[in-house]
Amino acid sequence: MCSASPNHTSPNDLPARTLKSHTFPVRFPYTGNVSRTPIVPRKPSPLSLRAALLSAALLLSLRTASSAQTVSSSSSSSTPDAPSSQPDQSNPATRPRAAQIEQGGAAVTLESSEPLFEMAAALNACGYDADLDKSAPVRLEVRTELNAALAASEPARESRDALCAYIAAHHLNDSALNVGQYVSLSLYLSPPPELTPNVDETELPPQATQVVNVLPLLRAFAADVELHFLWVHHRPEYEALLARVHDPMTQAILSTNIYLHQPVSSYDGRRFLVLLEPMLSPALTNARIYGTDYIIVMSPDNSPGVPVPIAQIRHIYLHYVVEPMVYSRGTAMERIQPILRGVQDAPLEFFYKSDAPALLTECLIKAIEARMYLVDSPAPEKPKSKERVDTDQYAAQKDLYDRETALARQKLVDLDERQGWVLTGYFYQTLQVMEHNGDGLRDEIAPMIYGMDVERERRHAEEIVFVKEVTPDPLRPSAPPRRIAGMDLAELDLMKGNPVDALDIAEQAMADPKGDHARAQYVIARIDLMQGDPEKAMHGFQQTLALSKDPRTLAWSHIYLGRLYDSMNPPDRDHAVSEYNQALAVRDSLPDTKKAAESGIKKPFALPLRENKPPPTGDDKDFDPTGKSQKDSYKPPAPN
């Protein structure tokens, strides 16, 4: 199953199979940039007409779209940039180079990357020392050889100084975000010595564009210190680290697929890629989502066991598997919105307090992890003999083990809910039904979501006593819970159906020269739509496009404009399709954007029809709401 051959399929759906041993090849001289190790085979004023109905219909997706500030190409050290871009998956050239599939390549791989190595080595040469004492030994070896090369060459020192001056000028206070911007850029680079982006600069993730001008300096530095030679020289250490991670990661992916009953399928255009780079801090996991590609950059530590946290890999892999299933059921998300009222006091990031699909997804993943959790003590082995005493002893030991495991799992669920993942208990119970039925998550997720008693779960959430801090999500670890203020508060007011306060906050932001004018204009445009002024809303969305650089805000502004054009009388279909296509061109990672835009291209946005109330029945036709006629009927007849 795990061979050095490039023939693999996608891991999205796997039955139980026998794991084969894997040998990592070492080739010299090494001329490629990526070592690919397959993990699992897988497979107007017409606009003023119908304004009230239009505003209600167009805002059906308001709550999902209003979580507009998620950056999809993120660093697990930062926000998921989930969680970035929404590249056209039919065109591989728009993807990060690291995520591009070679012919016959696997969708789930464990790799190393020379452009990433050179970028990380440059950061180390410029004073990046984070967790050096905890890193794999190869990091110190490379640094020592770098220092020797610098000491022996004046041109190398000059190129290093120029490089370090640039890095210092673009330093971010958050260490994870600071490193993340260079990691993000390196994923798009061609092999040395070119080190050029494989996409146009305008198509790079936002954080990568902030440091793209480092590339000429990096190329000069890499040539002067002969970084390629260092890469080739230390490939055996990289291969050895890959080998230590390979089997545990494979087992984690396999066990997850077996539990979820994911069948084997051919490659479907999605990637789950784990890159190991020991030149970075072991405490830092950079996880990012580019369109449908999930990429994790991890740094091995110097421990004797598995050098990376496999649990984090499995957690992000669960995002890879679960998110498409959740986001494909957008019609169910509106009814789940009330759950958000129950987590407003939880120590969660605002993203989860304002985005029902994101909260639901994380809760489902937490529940899956709890159902798969095993206590540290080994499970009792079934006796080979059928002696009564042996079978009774085994039954007693197995019962004790099962009760310990169930108790430990329930403790995990309770902790998850106290941290704010309030639907974990619900999904924990429904997953038990899935196990009993023998079905997979793909079959059971619809009844899980549509069968939820939302009001009951909301009341349950409001009764939970939350902890003060929450364990960071690997996809968003550098974004700690923050006080909701400014435009976040305006978004929350809008989500709660309080446009007056939302408008007040947005107008204050517009009046402030340093305010977030793009988000404020986006909020105002949606309020105009809610209040039945589509012409004003259209102008507001156009202003948003001129002000914003956030991919999600841009994409949904285009979608709203497309729906407005579709709703004109007569409809302006050409302009509508153009807006939907522009929404697809904007790099936003969440599936609801792509689905809404593609739906608009496929057919015009249609306003829902008003319900025609049936005519009053004969029983009620003479009903007098004042009650006067009923009272008069009890009066005695007038005397003759």
| Greatest distance between any 2 Cα atoms in the chain | 129
Nearest-angstrom CA–CA distance, 135 and 148: 20
The pLDDT, as a whole number, for residue 601 is 92
What number is the average pLDDT over the span 309-331?
90
What does the alpha-carbon distance between residue 222 and residue 193 come to, in Å, rounded to a whole number? Answer: 8
**pLDDT tens digits along 592-603:** 787 888 889 999
Please spell the DSSP secondary structure of 101-117, one letter per residue.
PPTT--SEEEEEEHHHH
Give pLDDT, residue 162: 93
Residue 99: its pLDDT value, please?
59
**Residue 454 confidence (pLDDT):** 93
- Nearest by Cα to 476 from 78, 99, 48, 117: 78
* Rg of the chain on CA atoms, in Å: 28
Say if CB 524 and CB 510 are below 8 A apart. yes
pTM comes to 0.66
Q: What gap in Å lies between CA 74 and CA 551, rounded to an integer? A: 12
Tell me whether the omega of the peptide bond preceding residue 570 falls within 30 degrees of 0, making it cis. Answer: yes
Higher pLDDT: 81 or 298? It is: 298
Query: What does residue 189 show for φ and ψ, rounded to 5 degrees?
Result: -95, 145
Reduce the DSSP state of residue 507 to 3 states and report it: helix
Within 313-374, strands assigned E span none
pLDDT band with cut points at 50, 70 and 90 for residue 9: very low
Residues 6+ apart with CB under 8 A from 3: 20, 22, 38
Structure confidence at residue 267 as a pLDDT band (50, 70, 90): low
Instruction: Please give the DSSP secondary-structure letter assigned to residue 134.
Output: G
- The partner residues of 110 in beta bridges, in order of sequence, read 37, 274
Q: Over 90: is that where the pLDDT of 123 sits?
A: yes
What is the predicted pLDDT for the residue at 608?
62
Domains of the chain: 72-246+268-298 (no CATH), 328-462 (no CATH), 486-602 (1.25.40.10)
Please, is 543 exposed, middle or buried when counting C-beta atoms within 10 Å of its C-beta (0-12, 13-18, 19+)?
A: middle
Say whether pLDDT at 2 is over 70: no
Rounded average pLDDT over 109-117: 94
- With a CB cutoff of 8 Å and minimum separation 6, the contacts of 640 are none
Q: What confidence tier does 589 reach under pLDDT thresholds 50, 70, 90?
A: low
pLDDT average, residue stretch 620-632? 45
